Amino acid sequence: MHKKFLTNLGLILFLNLLIKPIYILGIDRAVQNQVEAANYGIYFVIFNFCFILTIILDFGITNFNNKNIAQNSHLLTKHFSSLFTLKLILAVIYISVVIISGFLIGYDTRLMKLLLVQGFNMFLLFFINYLRSNLAGLHFFKTDSIVSVLDRSILIILCIFLLRMGAFKGPDGIMYFVYAQTFSYSLTAIIAFIIILGKTQTFKLTWNFPFSLMILKKSLPFAILTLLMSFYNRIDPVMIERLLPKGVGDVQSGIYAQAFRLLDATNMIAFLTAGMLLPIFSRMLKYKESVEPLVKLISTLLLTPAIVIGVGCVFYSTELMGMLYPKHVEESARIFGLLMLSFIAVSTTYIFGTLLTANGNMKQLNIMAAFGMLLNITLNVILIRKMEAFGSAISSMTTQFLTAGIQVVIAQRIFKFRVNYRLISTLIMFAIGVIAINYGSKMLHFYWIVNFAIMVSCCGVWAFFIGIIRVKSLLRVFKYG
């Protein structure tokens, strides 16, 4: 199981690290620079607003389906047609709620248009995720890996032409970006749907009310968890725009988006890992296999680079923001350092939160997420008015670390994991060494990129030196896993 996990994880990470950084750091950044911070800030707020409401769109069905198909692969043919119809009905309800919410907020015609198209894009994006959950549940990880980068690949090609044409300049330029997303998501959804059809024996649009009600009841805990976690992961730019004066809120949301972009890129690693871990954990738990060795392995593999990335981005925040953006560098750098430090906590959440989800501990996760939502909103209300977007970054980092710690404690108690003092002490020693290496690298008299590369290389050597990563252990996994 370890060998299969690492092999497929390597493939999906390779494809995504090849494509998605090009999109996030190349295309998305270039679009923001062309449309200016305020216009992109509005887009970023509406994107996150639509994302929060996706509880209606998905209702936890994707996570439930992933876990269910992983444990009962024969149910794909039986459930796919009915779930497909249910997803379409939820999409209609979702779009309706998005439009009504826009009117209640007071969006003008231009923003309502952006809200409507973005809402449709969100439906396409989550429909793709649902289709991918079937592939992951069946352990078709290679096919899932290709589908996971298909939409961004198409979008990159489209946006290269649009950027060269200067299509994103002007107040309405952001709409071309949203339309390009619509095309790429639509094409990917069609291709993914055709692939899934090939894995099923029959397909027919049917509305089975008792079945739909049963699925909604079973997926309700997943839906509540998604809603609560979406609030404390995505509410920040929305609250920035709402709590600050008009004009100031738009710009501050754009600055927050600048800082958030790299966190979004690095989160991809943990998110993709979790997407593979859920069906693997689910199947291992069904057959009463011990998950402790895999948890230890993935914790080491994820947290080691997370510490290097998080600490390194704190020390080199100004240089990295200056390389990516021509404006608001100092402001976004302060926010960026805090957000990237929280990547350590986010990685921890993806490991232990996924394990608890696979085990069905939804009550504990929902209580944790409710605490995180209330803490994040409370801190945002207090800090945004005083420190603008920087206050929201403090709120986000605090919430991420506290909720991650709670999940570790819950998992340890439920699974009776032995407290691995050696691993904990090694991680602490590694983190202290990474901080010292960063201090030393900043004193070098080379160009900052050279200093940064030296820092990363030294951190890698330090990881092997203290034994947090062992070559023999990795080779043993591939040989005997």
Under 8 Å between Cβ of 296 and 423 = yes
DSSP code at position 204: -
Under 8 Å between Cβ of 148 and 142 = no
- Per the structure block, which two tokens stand in for 122? 């969100």
Please report the pLDDT score of residue 140 as a whole number.
72
Three-state DSSP at 419 gives coil
Residues of the chain with pLDDT under 50: 476-481
- How many residues would you count in the chain? 481
DSSP secondary structure of 348-375: HHHHHHHHHHHTT-HHHHHHHHHHHHHH
DSSP secondary structure of 113-178: HHHHHHHHHHHHHHHHHHHHHHHHHTT-HHHHHHHHHHHHHHHHHHHHHHHHHTTT-STTHHHHHH
- Per the structure block, which two tokens stand in for 479? 């040989």
Under 8 Å between Cβ of 143 and 15 = no
Please report the pLDDT score of residue 121 as a whole number.
94
The pTM is what?
0.76
Three-state DSSP at 316 gives coil
CA dist., res. 121 & res. 85, Å (int): 18
CA dist., res. 289 & res. 285, Å (int): 6
Phi-psi region of 182 (alpha: psi -120 to 50; beta: other; left: phi over 0): alpha
CA dist., res. 70 & res. 138, Å (int): 6
- Per the structure block, which two tokens stand in for 34? 């062309």
Under 8 Å between Cβ of 238 and 45 = yes
Query: Domain coordinates of the chain in residue numbers?
Result: 19-266+320-415
CA dist., res. 227 & res. 242, Å (int): 20
Under 8 Å between Cβ of 59 and 259 = no
| Side-chain-side CA neighbours of residue 442 (13 Å) | 15
